[in-house]
Chains A and B, each alone.
Chain A
Amino acid sequence: MTKAMSESRRNFLRRSGCALMGAGALAAHVEQFGLIHAFARAQSLSDYKALVCIFLEGGNDGNNTVVPVDDYNAAGGYASVRGASNLSLPQSSLLPLSPPSQQGRKYGLHPNLVELQTLFNQNRLAVLCNTGTLVQPLTRQLYRSGVGHPYQLFSHSDQVEQQQTCISAQPGHTGWGGRISDVMSGANGAAPLPLAISTAGTSLLMSGDDTRQLVVNPEVRLNELFRVDLGNDFSLANTEVRRIAFNRIRADATAKLSRAAAETVEQAMQAGFALSLDPVLPPLQAGQTDFQTTPLGKQLKQVAKIISLRAQLGVRRQIFFCSLGGFDHHNNQRTAANSHDALLLQVSKALKAFHDATVNLGVAAEVTTFTLSDFGRTFEPSGTGAGVGTDHAWGNHQFIMGGAVRGGDFYGTFPTLALGGPDDADERGRWIPTTSTEQYAATLGLWFGLPHASLPAVFPLLGRFPASNLGFMS
């Protein structure tokens, strides 16, 4: 990297800070490899921090996750829109929350989120209200005048991508976790594992320009995860010959897609050398919850095990990506095998077990867990009867959990639940977000140690919003 080049890139960033470019062009520049390298990589750090993303795939119905209690029966509110449908959660079933920021207004969690209610009351869990993909702050009037629409709003693939890229003006190919990793991977020195680790396959969130995430199968013991099977013909000598040729051939792969496949194997082999044992998590204490063998439970247990090896591996910063599918409840939202209720139950129990594991590992304040989802869902039901569901919408509520979270409160602005109301993008209850995913992610990134100077490169449109730190992290 020449000095001149990094100078020119700094200049570019200074210009982009002044928002001289259109959203598309600006994001395109950030997308181009190279830009992020202008910043000094973070120096090796002495403390440990981890971010754990739980992506609720398909679009979690936030309207049935956090429900207003005081305004339950307000004209045009929850009871009037959902009360007659099978979606309706009875007011008495809601688990009450009293967030100090809401001027005495009470809210309730879905009845299956018992553990999350407890964590909220212990100030270990916060709720961020009505956050979503935005390219600029919006009002209903602005939105309906055709201004500031994220690319392909309401489409799964694009909204999943934008939650993960934080580039809402156009398709992107790097995720914000990957870009944080591009900037901060130096913090881990020569550790054998990359900063970005996914238990849910290759995710866009964790893809950077340089960052190639490690994908960990949650079903396999750590010490068996990355074993290269060389085959066995009952001759150790032949196996050794094979091993040497196997490595030599891989090094000879030059065509770009072959090279990429080769590097994937190389990363796995390096991790395999490092993960030589399957750790046992510390025993549970009274009142704690163990991991269940649910899809999310297994992923978070694997994450806890990897965190337990942080000292041996010499890692200072880690970002984990977990996901849980099935939230696209166009129909049968309450009755499908993977009903919304069943999935929330799984989320609540898995989060509690993970929180307890971080307590036992002594890193409760060093690990912050947060949810993301494609989008929220229409407040107005879709279909009728037992098969009722909801359609794709926009703004949504998210949870942030951990000892460093200023928990027990709501952040952002709770939307006015009214069809065609001030927060509705149309007439079906698609909330226009009042907090952008970028602000949400930047708040997490700043806690994680991302230098302020790197914010524009990692979050190109952040400067358009009033706050880059939402204050939910201490």
Chain B
Amino acid sequence: MPILASALDPQSPSYAENRTAMLERLTELEEALDGARAGGGEKYVARHRSRGRLLPRERIELLIDRDTAFLELCAVAAFATDFPIGASVIGGIGIVEGVECMIIANDPTVRGGSVNPFTLRKSNRLAQIAATNRLPVINLVESGGADLPTQAQIFIPGGRIFRDLTRASSERLPTIAVVFGNATAGGAYLPGMSDHTIFVKNQASVYLAGPPLVKMATGEDTDDESLGGAEMHATRSGLADYLAVDERDAIRLARRTVARLNWRKLGSGPRALIAPEPKYDAEELLGIPSADLRNPFDPREIVARVVDGSDFDEFKPLYGTSLVTGWAQLHGYPIGVLANSRGVLFSAESQKAAQFIQLANAADTPLVFLQNTTGYMVGAKYEQDGIIKHGAQMINAVANSHVPHLTVNIGASYGAGNYGMCGRAFEPRFLFAWPNARSAVMGGPQLAGVLSIIGKQAATAAGRDFDADSDEAMKLAVTSQIEEQSAALFLSGRLYDDGVIDPRDTRTVLGICLSAIHSGPVEGTRTYGVFRF
């Protein structure tokens, strides 16, 4: 077994420096996550509790099987926006009665659980993850409906939620709605479009229009219970399949419902039920990525701390060496790994990647991309040698690969390298970033420098004097703006990834994702034989 050797020296100054920098980023991540966990803040949490209701995270904790993991996704959605961190919805993958499910819970402590543009984007992403990976969906519903000030941004696209629900159902993906409170107007279609519905007695309120609107529309005098009470829906309208006496009972009923789904995963199980842990300590992952991303680092040190038994068969180790490719298992699932070694992608690296991706498709093996790239090589020699052509081969291979892709940005993801290394636009099943990661069209100083050169050229062409002071100010402003906007948390806030993760959790996160992915079939493309480029 080819066990990776490690050259890492945890006593070295660079290790200490890297670790210190990473710990600072982790503190920022923890603060952001604290913000997400705080929900609507103490006052609204207290008010919610005073009604005898459980918090959405408590509902999830009760719903999932004891001692199992919960992988929360898009936890810092809406970070650095005008909306509360988390976007008033909590979602992730959890195991319910032995079934890996997508669990989506409104947070009623955040503006009544109302849906703002980020809530919508997050909900859509969660629904997409459920659909592409064949995960049953459990919605824990308690939402006041659309956030009225931003309704223009959500009303029209918002219908997708209901469309996706019933399409999931038609794909035989079970959908379960547990209604703990309000689900009114459009929200009423959440239970309406679900396969299974559970309503909490004296809490659920599900109607198209509330008493005031009914009065306005038809003049009828009504009340909440007769319009949309849980008991009414369980005994009269039939919208509720089960009437729960309280929240715990509702969660019990949801679990019973999942237990009776007769759920079978379509993908193969892991090749080893008990996978050997890596030979090296995951704690050391904090000291590997360079504090200054301009210094490349050996991704084999990462792989050695993530894959089963640190066991890695490297493919083409002597060719295109600034991209590491190879085979491994992760929690028993076979994977192919593509990891940037020295940032730049040359023609050889591109062709190696394209071939490797085709081999993975031929073997139905999922791919893990570890991004740390500054992009494809530039310069006259490389353009003349066809770097665009070769890069296009790699991007083509990535785009048309049918095996599941998992992408982790462990450092830099710049330029077209982001595309070739399966960035968001190439629809990896899951995409995570380490807290130190950055992603942009190019680095801040580079972008500022480019703008400066263009400015100088423009000044020269126009015969103007070049104002060096304002150029410096411009460079500083652009650099800082790019730095802010390429940071992992900023991008995660905009739903460009599925979460920022602690590097030490990489193995666990990828293991959960791989297992979830195998809920559906895992098959590579069958279009062509493997091209040897």
* Same complex: no
> Which A residues are closer than 8 A to B by beta carbons?
none
